[in-house]
Amino acid sequence: MQAVSVKVGKLYGVDYVNELYKQLLTLHKDCIYYCMTDDPVGLHKDIKIIKTTDDFEERKWWNKIKLFEPGLFDQSTIYLDLDCYIHIPLNKFFETYKPGKLNILKTNWFSDGIARKVHQCNVNSSIMIIDKDNCAPLWKECKANIEKMYKSFYGLDPWIYRRHKENIYYFQPGLAYSYKHGCVFPSDIEQNKLRQLPVCIFDDALDRYEILNGLWASTKVMG
């Protein structure tokens, strides 16, 4: 299995990357892990570095679009935001994978109406599966209109939703959840609760680092 994350700027320290790598090795001992970063200092020696620069100083999350470049990966690769914690293996993400589409998370913890009203979309790019050619249409627009995209959309997710809805495929509900908001609306929306599902996303959680520190301490590497 291959996985990748992006660390640009100072918002996330190297511990976020190294600990995510440790989780991956615990659950997928042969995992190859890439980190796209402008500063690889302190990263585990076995993490494969994709060098980049910070081209979006005010909204660094836009740097993720560089992952859409065709041919960057030679096989299907799962992208994980650095505020994710992996509880159990990620196999189900790949078992339901739709070839030719950008497989991406849906904000199932909100109703569609709330998601579109508050966040302008129901797409969440915290977890994606990227392969060598499934992002070609997105990359083509990035190359041609990046300044217009950046001015027109505050975040990457609304751009994907509004401009490339036909190129995406949502993961099935229950593979990931938001620590702050819950899992599936309206049946499971208890907040600030850990669940035994593959991935927890600590989006906007004020005590994110404190909770993650406790979880990191319990992670043991296989082999």
Q: pLDDT tens, 154-184?
A: 788 999 998 999 999 999 999 999 999 999 9
- The CATH class that applies to domain 2-217 reads alpha beta
Structure tokens belonging to residue 218: 């319990």
* Cβ count within 10 A of residue 124: 26
Rounded average pLDDT over 126-151: 86
Give me the residue label for tokens 């950046």: 150
Residues 6+ apart with CB under 8 A from 213: none
Percent of the chain's residues with pLDDT above 90: 62
What local confidence, expressed as pLDDT, does residue 118 receive?
73
Percent of the chain's residues with pLDDT above 70: 97
Identify the residue with better confidence: 218 or 87: 87
Are 202 and 208 in contact by the 8 Å Cβ rule? The answer is yes
Give me the residue label for tokens 């309206």: 186
What local confidence, expressed as pLDDT, does residue 222 receive?
46
Confidence of residue 205 (pLDDT cuts 50, 70, 90): low
Query: Of all helices (H) and strands (E), which one includes residue 77?
Result: strand 77-80
Query: Which of 211, 210, 184, 185 lies closest to 197 in space, CA to CA?
Result: 184
29-to-2, 17, 25, 78, 90 alpha-carbon distances in Å: 11, 16, 4, 15, 12
